[in-house]
């Protein structure tokens, strides 16, 4: 396949790719080969993909072609190339470095351990190519680590992709794959979706199983798996495969969602609560200007836009600190668990000083401290529920600042100051944490560009009202399509 044909394939979304394969216009093997060439050509300057398994991918693609030749109907994702995140994105025989931790460079996932995204995509006959980059244990909103380095932003490679699913989002924005797997404990689906100009969908808590063992009742925030994609319909089709009830997940809910049907949902008359600062965050004026313009898409689609009454019940700094201690319990668990096996995750600078500092702080927490954090989460939940009682959806900035410059030491961080106010550089610039505390669904969709860099708009729904979030996201895409923006990463220099 020549370069022109590969470029054409790179412009297709997942659903169209599967349609073309099913229709015989192109084979799954040809699509897979083209994606592997794109990785070879484009990834060195991007740092999005950290592991590739071409032999297995081509074998899986050939199996798709053989099944289609027998007349089998494999569905709307068959033959679509995709990636899974190298952070709890387990697939047997593949690496598991927990986000580029040098001490785990040789760790391989054993048989029987499979995460939801690769399981669901294999069941859908998609083709798993490899793994995408992530920060160590996902404990920051950017993607960088000591083993693989930063994932660069496809719109400006001097800047970061966001995290922790930054490799997945960058690969999608860059046209390497049309959809990729992501996970989210504080915004890790939506943060890189915002900075890379793609769609990131975080479902309601309990719709995609999370079954960690031995501790199925971890102390952290709600943790989600979901897709990053160029189109809302790809997100909906992928969610239709990820969504399932699993009794082994104590939060799993037997709720039915018509994900694909929601794409055509009419949002006429819906009340949209616009919160330009999510009730208390400082916001870069350039981000605010893009959001003020983008929110008019809802009016154009027939919805009613009003001011949201949501206000943070505590300062944004307290929100960030509460998240750091909540998710930090998982970091401490990994540190201690690997130490018992004789592995020091901090060896070779595998964990930053700031991460280790938080680990020490969390170990020193009292029962009263843990209880106080849960009170803060409850206050945030109550504030969110009160605001949601007045509107159907709440809209605001996915992130409060533009993509940051990459560091050269594996320790890129987010902004420490926005609009003259100090913010926590790990997560304090990410209002996305609010839904990890509350369990509500949300999507980050492209809102536009500021200084040539993507800005995301966060659409938050009531819990289990995911169909409304999908319908609203699809309506924004119809009214203000963003596909033309991908000409920017498509034309970036590869040297």
Query: Which residues does the annotation mark as catalytic?
Result: 85, 164, 188
* Distance spanning both ends of the chain, measured CA to CA: 22
Q: Which tokens sit at 157? A: 């490679």
Tell me the C-alpha distance between 454 and 297, whole Å: 17
- β strands within 60-126, DSSP E: 81-85
Give the number of C-alpha atoms closer than 13 A to the C-alpha of residue 63, restricted to the C-beta side. 14
Give the number of C-alpha atoms closer than 13 A to the C-alpha of residue 400, restricted to the C-beta side. 29
Of 166, 482, 430, the residue nearest 322 (C-alpha): 430
What phi, psi does 346 have (nearest 5°)? -85, -10
Give the number of C-alpha atoms closer than 13 A to the C-alpha of residue 190, restricted to the C-beta side. 33
Per the CB < 8 A criterion, the answer to whether 354 and 426 are in contact is yes
Contacts with 176 (C-beta within 8 Å, 6 or more apart), sequence order: 10, 35, 38, 39, 42, 43, 46, 48, 49, 83
Q: How many CB atoms lie within 10 A of CB 385?
A: 14
Give the number of C-alpha atoms closer than 13 A to the C-alpha of residue 14, restricted to the C-beta side. 35
Of 369, 376, 360, the residue nearest 434 (C-alpha): 376
């Amino acid at each position: 396949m020549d370069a022109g044909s590969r470029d054409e394939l790179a412009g297709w979304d997942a659903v169209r790719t599967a349609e073309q394969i099913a229709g015989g216009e192109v084979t799954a093997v040809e699509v897979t080969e083209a994606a592997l060439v794109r990785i070879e050509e484009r990834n060195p300057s991007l740092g999005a993909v950290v592991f590739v398994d071409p032999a297995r991918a081509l074998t899986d693609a050939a199996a798709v072609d053989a099944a289609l030749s027998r007349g089998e109907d494999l569905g709307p994702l068959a033959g679509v190339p995709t990636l899974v995140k190298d952070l709890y994105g387990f697939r047997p025989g593949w690496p598991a470095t927990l986000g580029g931790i040098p001490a785990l460079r040789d760790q391989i996932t054993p048989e029987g351990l499979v995460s939801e995204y690769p399981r669901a995509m294999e069941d859908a006959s998609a083709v798993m190519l490899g793994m995408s980059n992530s920060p160590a244990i996902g404990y920051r909103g950017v993607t960088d680590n000591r083993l693989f380095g930063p994932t660069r932003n496809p719109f400006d490679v001097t800047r970061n992709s966001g995290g922790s699913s930054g490799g997945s989002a960058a690969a999608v924005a860059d046209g390497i794959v049309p959809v990729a797997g992501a996970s989210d404990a504080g915004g890790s689906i939506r943060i890189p979706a915002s900075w890379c100009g793609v769609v990131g969908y975080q479902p309601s808590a309990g719709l995609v199983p999370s079954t960690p063992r031995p501790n199925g009742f971890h102390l952290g925030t709600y943790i989600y798996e979901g897709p990053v994609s160029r189109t809302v319909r790809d997100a909906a089709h992928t969610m239709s495969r990820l969504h399932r009830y699993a009794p082994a997940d104590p939060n799993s809910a037997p709720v039915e969602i018509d994900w694909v049907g929601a794409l055509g949902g009419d949002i006429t008359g819906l009340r949209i609560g616009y919160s330009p600062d999510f009730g208390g965050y400082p916001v870069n004026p350039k981000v605010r200007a893009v959001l003020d313009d983008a929110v008019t898409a809802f009016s154009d689609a027939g919805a009613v836009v009003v001011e949201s009454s949501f206000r943070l019940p505590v300062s944004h700094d307290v929100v960030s600190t509460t998240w750091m201690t909540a998710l930090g319990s998982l970091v401490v668990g990994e540190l201690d668990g690997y130490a018992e096996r004789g592995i020091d995750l901090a060896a070779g600078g595998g964990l930053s000083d700031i991460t280790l500092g938080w680990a020490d702080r969390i170990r020193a927490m009292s029962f009263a401290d843990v209880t106080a954090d849960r009170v803060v989460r409850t206050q945030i939940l109550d504030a969110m529920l009160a605001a949601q009682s007045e509107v159907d959806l709440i809209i605001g900035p996915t992130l409060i600042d533009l993509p940051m410059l990459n560091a050269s030491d594996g320790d890129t961080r987010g902004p420490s100051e926005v609009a003259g106010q100090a913010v926590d550089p790990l997560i304090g610039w990410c209002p996305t944490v609010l839904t990890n505390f509350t369990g509500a669904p949300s999507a980050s969709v492209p809102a536009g560009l500021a200084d040539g860099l993507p800005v995301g708009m966060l659409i938050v729904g009531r819990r289990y009202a995911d169909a409304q979030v999908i319908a609203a996201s699809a309506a924004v895409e119809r009214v203000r399509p963003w596909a033309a923006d991908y000409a920017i990463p498509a034309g970036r220099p590869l040297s």
